[in-house]
Amino acid sequence: MGRPRKTEEPVKERKTRTRKVEEPEVKTEQIEDPVLEEETEEVIPDPAYAPEIKPTEYIVKVREDSWLNVRRGPGRNFEAVAKLKNGESVFVYELKDGFARIGDDFWVDTKFLISRL
């Protein structure tokens, strides 16, 4: 005769124990901030404007027999109100759409400026 056959025993389910861990109570305190309670107007920056920059000196670089138009706004569609000659020095306060603000409402095309450095 051969070996006796083993009968399969049912698999026993394992019981697991869980232990509840109590988290420490965190006390929070509501602090009143008078600045936050005031109504403030939300400021949304215009993405077309670059932030104002530290005034930097530049030199106008155009042909000797030409000039650079100073305009009332940052674009060629704005009125030309003055002209700058080659080699003149300007300070740039802000950049926008390829134009540099060189004074209150005075803008020039940045393609014609080189750094003084």
Q: Which carries the bigger pLDDT value, residue 13 or residue 35?
A: 13
Q: Is residue 115 predicted with pLDDT exceeding 80?
A: yes
Q: Give the residue carrying structure tokens 């060629």.
A: 76
Residue 87, pLDDT score:
94
Q: Residue 5 pLDDT more than 60?
A: yes
Tokens found for residue 56: 């930097």
Q: What is the pLDDT of residues 47-100, one digit of tens each?
A: 444 456 678 899 999 999 999 999 999 999 999 999 999 999 999 999 999 999
Q: Note the CATH architecture for domain 56-115.
A: Roll (2.30)
pLDDT tops 70 at residue 13: no
